[in-house]
A and B are shown apart, each in its own frame.
Chain A
Amino acid sequence: MQITKQDVEHVAKLARLEITETETDAFSRQLSAILTYVEQLKTLDTAGVEPTATVLEQTNVFREDKARPSLSVEKALANAPESESGHFRVPRILE
């Protein structure tokens, strides 16, 4: 299976990942090899087979809607690259 440089650039954009020219070449080559390998799954008949998303039997796990102690604003912001007045600060969104 051939993953072109255009494919790589498209996927990188979806993944919010800036990539260099060298990386584009390498990913095109490596992803082509890996996807060719995984294409072997096509030979297995999975008609009518339920997909497994988790091995657990349970579906929803509920708890009471009760307030519990949580991180203080100060602690929650302690690792932020930038914060201001109790908020995360981000670069301008609208030009």
Chain B
Amino acid sequence: MALYKLTLRELQERFTKGEVTACEIVQAYTLRLNQLEPKVRAYITPTKEAALVQAEALDEKLKGWRRTMPLMGMPVAVKDNICTQGVLTTCASRMLGNFVPPYDASVIARLRGQSYLLLGKTNLDEFAMGSSTENSAFGPSRNPWNLSRVPGGSSGGSAAAVAADLCAAALGSDTGGSIRQPAACCGVVGLKPTYGRVSRFGLVAFASSLDQIGPITKDVADAAMLLGVIAGHDPLDSTSANLPVPDYAKALKKKDFKKLKVGVPREYFAEGLDPEVEQAVQAAIEEIKQLGAEVKEIALPRTDAAIATYYLIATAEASSNLARYDGVKYGLRSKETGNLLDMYMKTRQEGFGPEVKRRIMLGTYALSAGYCDAFYGKAQAVRTLIRQDFEAAFREVDLIVTPVMPTPAFKLGEKSEDPLQMYLSDIYTISVNLAGNPAIAMPCGFSKAGLPIGLQLIGRPFEEETLLRGAHAYEQVTNWRAKRPNIR
């Protein structure tokens, strides 16, 4: 089998046994990239040449040594809002079009510590704001299952790269569904860890109380492996949890749902859910029952309020975080400068795209004098109610099962004129970020048009093991991964 088709673990096994060299891995992916990347456009900055140089050095160094680290020699793609020292990190924005970070994000430092191979930086919606990658200043990525469809977003490039076998695994970031939604659109696995499970140091901030880095992979066991490498406390991120990291691979040993209670929130199966998606998710729930779960209906009564709450909190935090782009320290500076204030205003006008501007405007409004209590303050209080919904549900069940998005991947351009419609497609993923819980998206079927449909499992905070165990058990009996996109 071609090397690019292998999962991270299969590839790692061959590499560890010495059956394949790092150079051969990079060469296999280079051929694949040359063939398909012009169609999929998953990457903003491909780094396959640099990866080959690193691979040569690694092969040279490894002569006669045992290869033990999980990510050693593994070709990984990284969302372009995660800082990579010496490698362009643009956030898909004109604002950072020339930004070369002088340091690595902590997740990258960990991967580098294992001698991983960076295949490139992947496309996203500008500053991770969007659900389709259409908001990228460098043009949209395409869905490998159907090139006229979006790959989802904002980590659309990472999900498309994994689905099209243009990398062995990828990193994304998830603020309101930005790992899970593109994973569902592209038929791959995407894991949003618990808030605080993975360090955010070096992740370009969008909404700091919601952002979390996580793996996008070909299967659940790969997600477990990659999470094990990037999870854990980091003194450089005071919001990273000082808790031990379990051996996630161990969690995969029980291949069933025995003694697990699984909740189905009735609010997630209401109006607006595409019948094909509902059918696939219901069939998955049936499988989960067969695997020994006790399935029961639960309530998450504030689901309807989640989108409004999210778009106030996320934009308020974004308006504050993006104040740093002032044309002084890094990034773009407008050529048309008058005094300092003119320079700020013109730089930000030229550097930001429409969606980023819209969110800065909304967030600034929500925080402005006279409106802060009515909008931002209210949203923070409703966020508490949403958390309480999840806390109450998780007193009754161990996992919650839902769709990832209301429809399969939509067409390019279909929603880009109506921001509110675009926001509404995040309904099933957004609450999880507000509550801080971990959640995983994985394929659970295909629409008649041949587009992947995603299943979401949500777990208790810091119980990624239960999440991975359930997802893995379901994957074992279904094997949707056997079907691969025919890219043309």
Interface residues of A (CB under 8 A from B): 3, 7-8, 11-12, 14-19, 23, 27, 30-31, 33-35, 37-42, 44, 46, 49-56, 61, 63, 71, 75-76, 78-82, 88, 90-93, 95
Do B345 and A53 touch across chains, with their CB atoms under 8 A apart? Answer: no
Contact of A80 among B312, B328, B338 (CB under 8 A): B328
Q: Which residues of B contact A51 (CB under 8 A)?
A: 377, 380-381, 383-384
Q: Does B379 contact A (CB under 8 A)?
A: yes
Q: Does B319 contact A (CB under 8 A)?
A: yes
Instruction: Pick the 5 closest A-B CB pairs, nearest first.
Output: A55-B436, A51-B380, A79-B330, A81-B333, A46-B381
- Say yes or no: A30-B377 contact (C-beta < 8 A), given A16-B345, A56-B195: no
Selected A-B contacts with CB under 8 Å, 8 pairs: A12-B361, A17-B361, A19-B349, A38-B308, A42-B378, A53-B209, A55-B436, A91-B340
* Closest Cβ neighbor of B350 among chain A residues: A18
* Closest Cβ neighbor of A46 among chain B residues: B381
Q: Which residues of B contact A8 (CB under 8 A)?
A: 361
Do A34 and B362 touch across chains, with their CB atoms under 8 A apart? Answer: yes
Do B357 and A16 touch across chains, with their CB atoms under 8 A apart? Answer: no
Q: Does B385 contact A (CB under 8 A)?
A: yes
Report B397 CB to chain A, min CB distance, Å: 19
Interface residues of B (CB under 8 A from A): 98-100, 102-103, 195-196, 209, 235, 238-239, 241, 302, 304-305, 307-309, 311-312, 319, 323, 326-333, 337-346, 348-349, 352, 354, 357-358, 360-362, 364-365, 368, 374-375, 377-385, 387, 419-420, 423, 434-436, 461
Q: Which residues of B contact A76 (CB under 8 A)?
A: 102
Contact of A92 among B326, B340, B375 (CB under 8 A): B340
* Closest Cβ neighbor of B345 among chain A residues: A18
- Say yes or no: A46-B378 contact (C-beta < 8 A), given A71-B102, A80-B329, A95-B339: yes
Do B387 and A52 touch across chains, with their CB atoms under 8 A apart? Answer: yes
Docked CA distance A35–B364 (Å): 13
Contact of A49 among B340, B343, B385 (CB under 8 A): B385
Contact of B339 among A56, A80, A91 (CB under 8 A): A91
Q: Which residues of A contact B331 (CB under 8 A)?
A: 79, 81
Q: Which residues of A contact B362 (CB under 8 A)?
A: 31, 34-35
Q: Which residues of A contact B102 (CB under 8 A)?
A: 71, 75-76, 78-79
Do B420 and A33 touch across chains, with their CB atoms under 8 A apart? Answer: yes
- Say yes or no: A52-B340 contact (C-beta < 8 A), given A17-B345, A82-B333, A88-B328: no
Docked CA distance A53–B118 (Å): 35
Q: Which residues of A contact B340 (CB under 8 A)?
A: 90-93
Contact of A18 among B241, B349, B377, B435 (CB under 8 A): B349
Report B134 CB to chain A, min CB distance, Å: 16
